[in-house]
Each structure stands twice: as structure tokens, then as C-alpha cells.
Structure 1
């Protein structure tokens, strides 16, 4: 619900405006002078400030300047009965959104406020889209008619209409983010923001600011107030991807948000209340992480209200053909081709365990579609370990080829041992997660 701060020293005017705005369901706090208005502003989060320009203690211009130093997101409407063109220009230059001369029609004020809130909603959606536009999404829906996937669809249908927190678990590449998107799209919040953040991809020092935002001057380089993911997702859904990698201090802060639905920005003291549905994804065994002391048990209980396990591809091999067709349709559209896949190639794929799951399958199909000799993918176009060929050949003593084959087999074994968890696989291999990612990319395992 939008929150408005009304600063007006004329009691009759203040009450009239207050009563009219409350009729439209907006939350309104009132102050009879500038100092009380500033105290309320520094304590609470407001979407709009409506202020008289002449008030005892602190005038509207000073209040406007203070607000603008702290935030560019809060709109400000300045009212005055002593207006002039010079005053209006001065206030607009200082950052006021609107300038209204008294007396005015309250219906006109309501129209202006409604328009401002609509613009704020558009700005928020633009921020979300800007953050998401850099993400590469190969497919946008869950695919498969197997019994394992039907169980996933059934749970989504049951849980999506509720506000309950859902913990989505599964190996890397099983479609956890797609399941989260399906939950949001099937929920009453489908027309509200869907915001995601990868907890493993952001350094610990920046993660708090990404989640909760920061105030101007909170740290070096914080030259403006910035909203975090929780604020951007207000009234919508927030996906916490790879939550198992969240640092312990942030786990405590996240637990508080889940309990109280409020938080403070980095460097700030005012509490910000949000209405956000939380979805969390992880490829880690959080029960094991709890036993090892790396994850809070109370946070796990809060997140695991409804558990959803995404099955690995080896548990629903019957969906491989449908996945291949869906991937080929998308890749053909992207590349302007009409490549198909043979039944024998599909049969080979069904014999493979896919430690990288559907993500690995897609990459294999994309590579094969680009490099295939004709317009049909055959077993000869598939990697050697899938098509059943030995690599390198027995008489081939090329050291580079043999080392690459051995390295590939080690990585595949580590991924199988870790259940597809790349962090654990990197530990088993004695390399960094970044190094593992680079090797998987070079060996066409990514």
C-alpha cells in the first residue's frame, strides 16, 4: 500500500486532505510543521510527500532539499497560497515533482497522486526488466509428461495460489528457476514483479546491499540511495537462487525479514515494510549444511514450509525426446535452420546419465545442431561418451587429446559424486568453482 507524508500547518486544510486521501486506501501520516514532518520522514519510508511551502520551524523548501539529498525515488508535491512563477520554477529546480496553488480541487490532487503512483510502478518494473535483460534464458517453461514431472506440476498447482514459502531443491540444471517462475505465474501475484538474485554469484561484501539496498553515503561509492531486491519485489515474488551459499551473517538478517516482513537498508535506520513471497532454490543438501554448521536450522524451517524437489534427468529419461524437440525448435528459430534429430541419436541420449541434467542436454543439442554434417543430428554428431565411441582412439598417442579426455572424465565423475553440485565438485577436484566453470565450458560440459 502506498504511504504518504502530509505536512500542512493549516489544521482545516490538513484534515480535509487527510480524509480525502484515506478514502482511496492510501496510508497517510500527518505533521503540522516541517520539523515533525522531517522526523517522520527519517523514521519511515514514504512513496510521496505533500508539503506546504510556508510552515513554522522548517519550511517546505528546506524539507524538499533534505528529502532530495537522501532520495530521488520519493516524489514531492509542494502546495502554497502565495505562489508565483519564480517560486514554482525554484521548487521544480530543487526537485519537486508537482507544484500546486491553493485553493485547489481535492479531486485534482487525487488525480495527480494516482498518476505519480502509476509512474512509480512503471519505474520499478523498468528497474526489474533492466536487471533481467542481461540474463540469458534458453527456455521459459517446464517440459515433460513423465510421472516425475507430473508430480512437480501437481505440487506447483497446489502451492502456487498460497502465500507460503517454497524451498526448491535439486541438482544443477534440473529447472529450479523455471519451477519458481511457474509458481509465480500461477499465483495471485502473477501481474506483480518477479525478482531473482543468485546468492552464489555476488561477493559477500555486496550481498547485503543487493538484498536490502543502501542509503547515500553508506559506503565508498554509494552516491545515491538504492533499492534492494526486497523493495523491488514488493507485492510480488523474490527468488533466492543458490541460497545455500548465503553467508552466515546474512542468514540471520534474512530470517528476521521472513519473521517480521521488514528490514533496514545498509547505512539506514528506518524500517521498511514489504509484502514479498519468498521462493528459494538450492542444489545443496541443506540438512547436511545444518549438521556441518554452515546453515541455520531455524532459517531452514522458515524456508521449508513447502519443499519441492526437481528430479534429475536420469530419473525421467522418457522426457529426453520432448526436451530435444523443444530445444531444437528454439535453436532452429535462433539460427534460421531446420535441423531435426534421429531416433538413434535420441536412443543414445537416453542411455546417458546427464550429470548437468537438462542444461547439459540443451548445450549438447545446440552444439550438435551447429556442427552436424546434414540437417539431422545422428549419433555421430554426439559427444563420444554419449555415442559410445572411445576417445581418443587406441592408436592415438596425442598427449593433448588424452589429457583432455582424462580431465573430462574426472570432471564428470566429480559431478556425479556431488549430485551435480558444482561447488562440491570443485572441492573434490581441488580447484576453484570459477576454474571448474571455465574447464566445463572449454570441454562443452557447460
Structure 2
């Protein structure tokens, strides 16, 4: 018994050596709080601006689950308001804003002129803030497991004729565990200033920042301790927006977009203004319906409800040709064989899925939809949990949505 008592301080010291740093909970939470920014020209009233929903080019699931297009627009609206800009948020869908933006994208000068004169005459700038990069650039993993040392100590003491003491001591040492993971991310943001008269780009800049994502855990006997710093993706995006707004605060309050050179001249139109407005209301309504149909299509495809008899018909022509060629490969498992293999597991397989769908890009008869899945799978008593994402690129073909590309990750 004395041997065990003497070994306990040694084991405690061994455990303590695994803890290289300790960060208190309040320090972790404070590190993720974005500090309020003091804008140099806050006392100067800024122009009226429209903030578009941001775009996210990164396909990394960990990032996209924390930051969305509307998150970016919301952060931008808060910071612009704090810098004393007047803000119209596209995400709040003010009347005729979608129609006005559609006319800008299509380059319809007459329609732009009508919407500006009627509803948006005071808008001086259109702003977008897009995440064009979000990726880990380095990572470090360190771990310690006391099982091997515990087994050796137990065996050594058994040879010395103290098997009972060896088992107890080995169990104590085996309970020591330590894990530490850290990675450095680089996030890049591009902001653009667009003309409210033509939608053309007036100014742009690219900014970058770094973020450390880390976690560590230690366990000894029945005591487990863990710490994590991994919820800072939205914080780094907000810091990048602050840097962008700081540049806008400096450049576009004292020198706004020169309207004299780009102001549109009124054109005589065969159609009356009311007809043009109604036409764009109809276009926006149709676009929203098409987007909703695309979401339903992907959901049904994901759930195996689309064209079960011939799955190739859900793909566009170029993709169908590639798949048909691939299916000629004799080494590829046939569908019926895959069904038989999966049927063998049916009795021992239990799974649940939680799908979430998001429009990440929308164009003229094209769109991209990201599906994220949080899953739980139990096979023969073994539990597995996780998440993954799939991005579907769709295009209209003969009036129907078809899948042109699928990207995993």
C-alpha cells in the first residue's frame, strides 16, 4: 500500500506535465468578442447606401456553418450605421429593391432610371462584402496516452512479485490522457463599391486576417477537463468588415461617386413606367419561384424521390454523357449489387440525418445549392457522428432543373 501512496505524487506530476497552458473560461469568451471600432469620420453624415447579401466562396463546412450570406450583410449594416452611413439592407427586402437590383444586373438603363427616380433617388452607393478565402494554412496535433506506460509499470511490478500493487498503479497511470489540437486559418474579404446608376464597379479592395482555432483536453481517473477556442469565424469576418468600413469611412464621405459623368439621361420608352415596374415585379416573382423549385428538386433528389427508374434523367446533357460512360466500366459495382450489399447491413444499421439547404449562388437559369448533413450512424453497436456538405450546381434544360455538377466537402 505504501508503494501506491508513494507513486501517486509521481503520477500527478506526470499528468501536470501534459498541461502546457491553461486559459480561463472568461478569457476564452473575451477573445471572441469583437471590440467596438472608432471611425475617424463618424461625425460626418455618410451617404445612403444599399448593402447586398455577401457571397462566400469557401466550401469549408466548418466555416459555412458559422457564417452565412446574411450574417455578412448584417455585420456590415451594423458597422456602416456605427460609422454614420445611412443603410438600406437588401436582406430586409424593402419595396422594389429586388426589382431595382435585377435591372442593374441586366443592364436595363431605362428600368434603372425608373426605379431610381421613383424609389431610390437618394441611394449613392451599392456595397457588397464577400468572403473569397477561408482555409486552414497550418495545424498542430499533440497527444499523450498513459495506457502503454501503465501496462509496462504493471508488468514490471508483477515480475517484482507485487502484482496487485502493479495493477492498481498501472490503472492510475493508464487513466492519464492529454490532447491538444490547433490550426491557423486565413480569411480573406473583398468589398466592392458599385454605381447605383449602372451597377458597374467603382472601387474595390481585398483584406486578410488570421485566426487560431484550438482545443485541448486532459483526463485523470474520473476527472476530465476540456477547453476550446473555435467559435471565432464570425468574429474574424466582423473584424474584416470593420477594416473595410474604415476605408469607406475615409474615402467615400469626403469624395462620393461623381454622378455628373454617369447620370442616366431620361429616355422615351414605348412602355409606360408602370408597365416596366410590373414587368420587373413579374421577373422577380418568377425568379423566386424558380429558386424555390430548385430547392425542392435537390431535396427530393437527396431523398431518392426523383426519377428512381432512371437516375440519369436528373442530370444535364454533358453530365449524363460522363455518367453513362462511367457506367460502362465493368469494374464499377452495379446498382443491384450495391443494394444487396447494403441489405446485409439492414438489420444492424440505424441512422438519422438532419439536412439543411442553402442557396449559395443564383444566376439566370442557374443556381448553386449547398446541402449540409449532421448524421448519426450505428452499425453493429458502433456509434458514428459527424457532418458533411455537398454543393449542387443546377441549370435549366428544356424548362426543367438539372444537376450539372456535384462537389463534396
Structure number with higher strand proportion: 2
TM-score by length of 1: 0.20
Relative CO higher for 1 or 2, CA cutoff 8 Å, sep ≥ 6? 2
From the two aligned structures, give the one with the greater helix fraction: 1
Q: Which structure has the larger Rg over C-alpha atoms?
A: 2
TM-score, normalised relative to structure 2: 0.21
